Structure 1
């Protein structure tokens, strides 16, 4: 089994990564971490560093990937969700584990939700960690 864990730097995305490390260990699965952004910054480096630490603590050998997508300017969460789905299709992931902020209806209507986009497509089993 191959598990994809998209992270955005939020606490819930790192809780999802912690959950995924245990899930991967328990089911002897491979795990891949990705951060999708419109530009690499110091914050991007910090997110990748924190992910590396969590992976090292769990004894998992993976280097977080930073995927730069310059089309994130309009409804960025939906575009991130689409990027996750593209990775699932291109690389054949069997499962996605991701965090969700629990945003309200107004925020979701304006910004969208990456988790909602991935779940709605029904392309792969998804575990959502609050």
Structure 2
């Protein structure tokens, strides 16, 4: 039997897809951070280009040119998203002054969203993950809810999945 213990929550990873519903799920991360005096790290993962698309472009423009384009454009996109997330935090703080929170860091990574979330949890030793789920129908749930399902299944830390109301 596992002994009862009060969990200490000091580091929360909030994973966002930047959708319109992100603010709703962020409210839960913010509330938990406020309640426990925890810091929030915000993570957005840019899904990498599929292997098939990658191969097509390489065949057309060549590996060297493709690598140059990706590197220059990728950093510009990351900087833009990081700015957008920073503005998002400022807006939420201004709108809800009664629920202050600390943003420890804003991360923008490239790769498989579920894998990158799991990697960051392990690497940075977060106490929990908060993320939204989009399931509003069979097809949407099967496709869009797959990231949250994979994270819940494989994460060694607690994961709070916020279902967006219909």
Q: Distance in 2 between matches of 1:43 and 1:114?
A: 20
Gaps of 5+ in 2: 1-9, 49-73, 94-99
TM-score by length of 1: 0.75
Q: Is 2:158 aligned against 1:118?
A: no
Q: Matched residue of 1:124: which SS?
A: coil
**Post-superposition offset of 1:96:** 0.3
After TM superposition, the structure 1 stretch with the greater mean CA deviation from structure 2, 101-110 or 23-32, is 101-110
| Structure-2 residue corresponding to 1:15 | 24
Highest Rg: 1 or 2?
2
Asked if structure 2 preserves the Cα contact closer than 8 Å seen for 1:4 and 1:93, the reply is yes
Structure 1's consecutive aligned runs of 4 or more residues displaced over 2 angstroms after TM superposition are: 11-14, 38-45, 47-51, 53-56, 58-63, 103-112
Other structure's SS at 2:161 match: strand
Bigger drift between 82-91 and 17-26 goes to 17-26
Q: Give aligned pairs, total.
A: 120
Q: 1:12–1:100: 8 Å Cα contact kept in structure 2? A: no
Structure 1 Cα separation of the partners of residues 79 and 136 of structure 2 = 22
TM (norm. structure 2) is 0.60
